[in-house]
Structure 1
């Protein structure tokens, strides 16, 4: 959600100069500034770039964000293709009036509808032909998801990269635990009104406040089709997948059946411990992810083959250090998730991970001390080290339980949503449980693939709190989000279970009191059950069906 990241995406995806044609000069643009009035009288600073050499009303690419307006150079490639570009500072940011609290609550379908009001303003301008596409990544993608619900009919297409579709579960409280580093650091770094964070902290449960920023639940009211572009290690991965899945399959007329999904081995920024082949780079992503090509079809009606593209294109990761390893290619498919066999891998007393369920009673326990949490090492982060990082330095801790398969004799492809079912007890009224999936390389490195967390008080629902009774056994499900990876022969699959991942998530004090109500903490003794009646396990979606393979 950083400005530099957004500008990098602009260059990589639109190919700013390439979009103008390799032999063409950057087109001359006519630039104008406007203060666009919203329904409550607040005016938002908006820049309009028009191609100076094209007359008559033109289709519009509309961009809204909190990082400043799009520079002229970035707009040039779009204008060269016959579009007017409109870029706007959201409420309370830079030259726009109003207050930016509460962030992302001003541009959707609630009391303040800045996105809708701005689209209507565009249609009233003489340079607009009433056909509008939206574009942007990260925060500029989130604003699109918000304004797409019940949008004016002039919005005809979207290009949304790395954006959440449910601010509670994907942006703020994953598994009911605050995404501490992401939310606190982002809001502070970009100097948002402190009331945004204060309000988020005051709503730890899913309620009406969060319903206003859950476009995923309003997919049927989205009529503009979109390309949803994401990364396996991105902070909003599941939002990208869910946006496509809900709108493509259950969206309104126009959007349903016309969306595209592109997912590669990307994070919200770079990572260094593994380097995937050149074919994975964003400029080499499948043509179906080309924003301007997609807009040309849905905005201008150009017959350019978009209608023949398969809807889904995702990168199947493999061992990038072994040229003979399977994986590291783009696959095309008709939908997401792909066909798979949901296969349980059970945890055993001897720390084995296998498809054989336990036959004898067993359990393992550890002590979780909120004053000494497991530190974050890699994963779907923004301001922390991100991506696939070696977990060995934290796997040796006493408060981490490991379960590892035997060395694989054949490759195993995992593509889809991953969930862990834990049977647990605790001597505290509330605690957290974390689960990590790692790819163990032949040299011993344990490379993080994906992970998740669940705050026990929210095990039944994020809109309620149900506390634990000491000694009672509870079943709970930890969502690890999704991936597509082939575990190569000679590798191992590993699961790590613990109760903290800080500062990615805030630590649970284990007291049962409202989180952050005071500084009191308790050490929790948490027990994981491994028996025929309480078979803790992770369910992996093992890919089963053939699919079209791209480059």
Structure 2
């Protein structure tokens, strides 16, 4: 999505420069204007186009107009509308200045399932949200529901979607007055907001990789640890209406940039980020207080009637918004008494890969184009059913099982509950039986001056040219296993498959000599030492589920407290959903560490009120001890599927 955004930004910068020059040039009347051979207004020819492009500024209930691009296939009649609302430039996502006569080419820019949209004959509509690009009004990042203390205005994305759909069904005569909404990431969040108080013409929603809860596990935090590298996104998204002032860095390696800054707050000061409204809100709310709870979309939707059928789409290796879709599914599924309103797909994808080629992810090959299969066997019939009335045979849950590399159709998710303890053992052992003997610990020194990186250096900025940010969740973890501040626990070679389908839950019993600490836990599939058909995969440490937990929230996510030094305490938190088979010949591995830099800000390991503003003297080494035998032995509860 954001690759398209960068391209659109470049186009828009060129357009802005042209407009600025034109305005300057016309500031003084030209006495020779009567001889100008250019027309005052250019009338473009659309000869040979296989679609019609209409650009409309649609008025909302408060008078603000939202810039909207409508693409109508040639000869369309009684056609459904597929709407996407976006902060990422509607003009850029529909071809921009590089308009094409071929609708198929234009749809490639729209960050949607272009093949399904084209073959389905849908009318495609993309709209700038208020305050962005061509739309009027103020901009708020993921605005909370209107009329609340967090958003005292009279509008929000739900009301704007309602007003937009109302205008479309009344003013696009080629339509059948049925509308579906879909989108990825922020646009996925906007697809969810449309269902809060939906227009009667909204018949289906497909939120893909949606932003749902920015504190629990989507863009801004994971369990209280700040996603420091997303500061660049906040700047670019809010600094200007048109993303015309990109974040700059004086170094290539993000490790150097954030390490030299010190704390996240210091990095913000260096970049003047404190003038940005959303950053100020984030830095004032580091804990899971009402600010975050009141705008979490799963909690909001749980309070409203279920009126619109939806298919939630989750990427099992989504490097940006891995939390949201399963959280909404869990919140809404109890309302779906007939099991026919809330659907979910979990595919082996990075963020938004479901609309691209899905044959592989990083070094992992799936033996098929998983995204194409899903689009034609699941998405296409799903949309057609609700927007055209055609029959469908789509399961409530469609999930890809890695390891076997097969699609499965299920009635519900999770398939299994996390109740099979996988124990961390002395001497780096790992198994389903508890260790014998008295209490033992595995120890390491965590030093904020030498944090564990989340991928091998150099680490270019997330959206730098040549960045492989999209695949980092599948990176070989051997680079971390070799560090003395990373504990590694490995099972014996498996003689039979171990299948999991659900959320692994960490039960880490550990102490720290400091008064605060982060804990990172990784569940890994270790390939055999030799893989004859793919030698580079020999011994590959393939991460299945990984996450971080900020220790100060051990007792309460909303009320942080210092950790008692040198006292073994239990830290319990869930890892992302997984549907995976650890095959015979493979081994299961668990890694434990206390930093994941620079993706997440460094914990100073000394309790301070707000880690954003930790001072250089607050950062200190700590001795970490993980219990691996006796009372309180650490383990991961796996959702093992019995056969």
Secondary structure of residue in 2 paired with 1:542: coil
Matched, 1:36 2:58: yes
Find the counterpart in structure 2 of residue 149 from structure 1. 196
Highest Rg: 1 or 2? 2
Secondary structure of residue in 2 paired with 1:454: strand
Secondary structure of residue in 2 paired with 1:403: strand
Matched, 1:239 2:324: yes
2: CA distance, partners of 1:342 / 1:286:
34
TM-score by length of 1: 0.85
Select the residue among 302, 309, 313 that pairs with 1:225: 309
The change in CA–CA distance for 1:50 and 1:135 in structure 2 (over 3 A counts) is: same
Matched, 1:515 2:611: yes
Matched, 1:371 2:449: yes
2: CA distance, partners of 1:445 / 1:297:
43
Displacement, 1:92? 2.1
Matched, 1:85 2:121: no
The change in CA–CA distance for 1:165 and 1:114 in structure 2 (over 3 A counts) is: closer
2: CA distance, partners of 1:476 / 1:512:
17
Matched, 1:346 2:430: no
The structure that is helix-richer by fraction is 2
Moved more, 205-214 or 430-439: 205-214
2: CA distance, partners of 1:419 / 1:341:
7
Displacement, 1:208? 2.8
Secondary structure of residue in 1 paired with 2:278: helix
Secondary structure of residue in 1 paired with 2:626: strand
2: CA distance, partners of 1:94 / 1:351:
54
How do residues 404-415 of structure 1 correspond to structure 2 at under 5 angstroms?
Answer: 404-415=490-501
How do residues 10-29 of structure 1 correspond to structure 2 at under 5 angstroms?
Answer: 28-29=50-51
Matched, 1:524 2:622: yes
Find the counterpart in structure 2 of residue 61 from structure 1. 82
Displacement, 1:51? 4.0
The change in CA–CA distance for 1:344 and 1:106 in structure 2 (over 3 A counts) is: closer
Find the counterpart in structure 2 of residue 158 from structure 1. 205
Find the counterpart in structure 2 of residue 358 from structure 1. 435
Matched, 1:282 2:371: yes
Find the counterpart in structure 2 of residue 317 from structure 1. 402
Displacement, 1:506? 1.3
2: CA distance, partners of 1:365 / 1:82:
61
2: CA distance, partners of 1:400 / 1:518:
24
2: CA distance, partners of 1:107 / 1:68:
23
How do residues 409-424 of structure 1 correspond to structure 2 at under 5 angstroms?
Answer: 409-424=495-510
Find the counterpart in structure 2 of residue 17 from structure 1. none
Find the counterpart in structure 2 of residue 303 from structure 1. 390
Matched, 1:533 2:593: no
1: CA distance, partners of 2:178 / 2:146:
20
The change in CA–CA distance for 1:204 and 1:421 in structure 2 (over 3 A counts) is: same
Displacement, 1:474? 1.4
Select the residue among 570, 579, 586 that pairs with 1:491: 586
1: CA distance, partners of 2:625 / 2:62:
54
Give the aligned length.
Answer: 508
The change in CA–CA distance for 1:267 and 1:340 in structure 2 (over 3 A counts) is: same
Find the counterpart in structure 2 of residue 260 from structure 1. 343
Displacement, 1:439? 1.1
1: CA distance, partners of 2:165 / 2:587:
55
Find the counterpart in structure 2 of residue 180 from structure 1. 228
- Structure 2 gap ranges (5+): 8-47, 95-102, 241-275, 354-359, 464-468, 530-538
1: CA distance, partners of 2:344 / 2:335:
15
Displacement, 1:363? 1.0
1:166-225 residue CA offsets vs partner (Å, 9 max, x unmatched): 2221222111111222x2233345564632223222211122322343111133324211
1: CA distance, partners of 2:568 / 2:334:
38
The change in CA–CA distance for 1:328 and 1:496 in structure 2 (over 3 A counts) is: same
Displacement, 1:401? 0.9
TM-score by length of 2: 0.73
Moved more, 495-504 or 369-378: 369-378
- Asked if 2 retains the 8 angstrom alpha-carbon contact of 1:109 and 1:147, the reply is no
Find the counterpart in structure 1 of residue 264 from structure 2. none
Find the counterpart in structure 2 of residue 321 from structure 1. none
2: CA distance, partners of 1:186 / 1:129:
38
2: CA distance, partners of 1:358 / 1:340:
23
Select the residue among 61, 65, 70 that pairs with 1:48: 70
The change in CA–CA distance for 1:371 and 1:512 in structure 2 (over 3 A counts) is: same
The change in CA–CA distance for 1:416 and 1:97 in structure 2 (over 3 A counts) is: same
The change in CA–CA distance for 1:285 and 1:117 in structure 2 (over 3 A counts) is: closer
Matched, 1:4 2:52: no
Select the residue among 98, 122, 125 that pairs with 2:165: 122
The structure that is strand-richer by fraction is 1
Displacement, 1:250? 2.7
Find the counterpart in structure 2 of residue 396 from structure 1. 482
Find the counterpart in structure 2 of residue 13 from structure 1. none
1:338-380 residue CA offsets vs partner (Å, 9 max, x unmatched): 13562101111221111111332111222211121100128xx
2: CA distance, partners of 1:369 / 1:229:
38
2: CA distance, partners of 1:337 / 1:398:
36
- Structure 1 gap ranges (5+): 8-25, 319-326, 546-551
How do residues 425-504 of structure 1 correspond to structure 2 at under 5 angstroms?
Answer: 425-443=511-529, 444-504=539-599
Moved more, 115-124 or 74-83: 74-83
Displacement, 1:129? 5.3
The change in CA–CA distance for 1:346 and 1:498 in structure 2 (over 3 A counts) is: same
Displacement, 1:440? 1.1
The change in CA–CA distance for 1:249 and 1:257 in structure 2 (over 3 A counts) is: farther
Displacement, 1:403? 0.9
Displacement, 1:27? 7.5
The change in CA–CA distance for 1:53 and 1:283 in structure 2 (over 3 A counts) is: same
Secondary structure of residue in 2 paired with 1:61: strand
Find the counterpart in structure 1 of residue 44 from structure 2. none
Secondary structure of residue in 2 paired with 1:170: coil
- Asked if 1 retains the 8 angstrom alpha-carbon contact of 2:424 and 2:431, the reply is yes
Displacement, 1:449? 1.8
